[in-house]
Amino acid sequence: MAAVNFIRDYFLAFEDENGGAMNSAELIEAMSRRYLDLTRPGCLELGAKVVKGELKLG
């Protein structure tokens, strides 16, 4: 259950930080400050670019 709670909290934080970020770089910076121990920044970078409209999938 801890993993589910972590993912929920991470997505809520991502949504919160997305509201204040002007671009993917700001969003990545904000999330990196919140989650210092995460070791796979590629997933965050991809998600931030897609959410901010800087990268289209599909």
57 conformational bin, left if phi > 0, alpha if psi -120 to 50, beta if neither: beta
21 with 52: CB under 8 angstroms? yes
Measured between alpha carbons, how far is 38 from 58 in angstroms, rounded to an integer?
27
Categorize the per-residue pLDDT at 3 as very low, low, confident or very high, splitting at 50, 70 and 90: very high
Q: Residue 9's pLDDT is what?
A: 98
| Each residue's pLDDT tens digit, 5-47 | 999 999 999 999 999 999 999 999 999 999 999 888 899 999 9
Measured between alpha carbons, how far is 51 from 47 in angstroms, rounded to an integer?
6
Categorize the per-residue pLDDT at 58 as very low, low, confident or very high, splitting at 50, 70 and 90: confident
